[in-house]
């Protein structure tokens, strides 16, 4: 009987800590982050590194509602291509702080798109995100916190 109480007490603590980790990650990730590194892995495992790079990501926590603001604009030049990305939407942290899910509204098709960025690193100064796109390309970004 005592073992059951201890087991359920531990289970409750783990559940509460998991929810708190999402909230802690949400507070920690909020702010402006400047891009410093962009690695693109093609579907055939060919890797390119951006040799020209600029832009930032702004993550704004909204404590009044569950709609946190997400705004990313980066410009890049790889040896094979030049381009830019602009993503505006809302975000939430989930899976115990391991994923940043962005809900982007596409005004051309009038649909929403879910983007799931894996959070590889999150410190006071560094944010590393990874996402696989529809072409099976793996995008790896490293950002520095703007003070």
90 CB-near residues (< 8 Å, 6+ apart)? 67, 68, 69, 70, 102, 103
**Single pTM value for the model:** 0.80
20 CB-near residues (< 8 Å, 6+ apart)? none
Q: How confident is the model at residue 144 (pLDDT cuts 50, 70, 90)?
A: very high
The reported pLDDT for the residue numbered 95 is 79
How many residues comprise the chain? Answer: 147
In this predicted structure, the answer to whether residue 13 has a pLDDT above a threshold of 80 is no
DSSP string, the chain: -HHHHHHHHHHHHHHHHHHHHHHHHHHHH-EEEEEEEEEEE-TTS-EEE-SEEEEEEEEE--SSSS-EEEEEEEEEE-SS-EEEEEEEEEEEEETTTTEEEEEEEETTTTEEEEEEEEEEEE-SSEEEEEEE-TTSPEEEEEEEE--
Architecture of domain 2-145: Beta Barrel (2.40)
In tens, the pLDDT along 77-115 reads 999 999 999 999 999 998 788 999 999 988 788 888 999
Residue 76, number of CB atoms within 10 A of its CB: 21
């Amino acid at each position: 009987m005592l073992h059951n109480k201890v087991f359920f007490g531990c289970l409750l603590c783990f559940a509460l800590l998991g929810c708190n980790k999402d909230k802690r990650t949400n507070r920690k990730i909020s702010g402006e982050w400047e891009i410093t590194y962009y690695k693109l892995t093609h579907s055939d495992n060919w890797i390119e590194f951006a040799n020209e790079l600029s832009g930032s990501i702004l993550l704004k926590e909204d404590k009044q509602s569950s709609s946190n603001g997400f705004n990313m604009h980066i410009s890049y030049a790889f040896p094979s291509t030049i381009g830019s990305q602009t993503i505006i939407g809302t975000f939430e942290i989930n899976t115990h702080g391991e994923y940043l899910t962005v809900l982007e509204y596409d005004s051309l098709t009038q649909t929403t798109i879910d983007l799931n960025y894996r959070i590889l690193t999150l410190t006071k100064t560094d944010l590393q995100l990874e996402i696989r796109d529809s072409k099976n390309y793996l995008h790896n970004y490293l950002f520095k916190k703007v003070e």
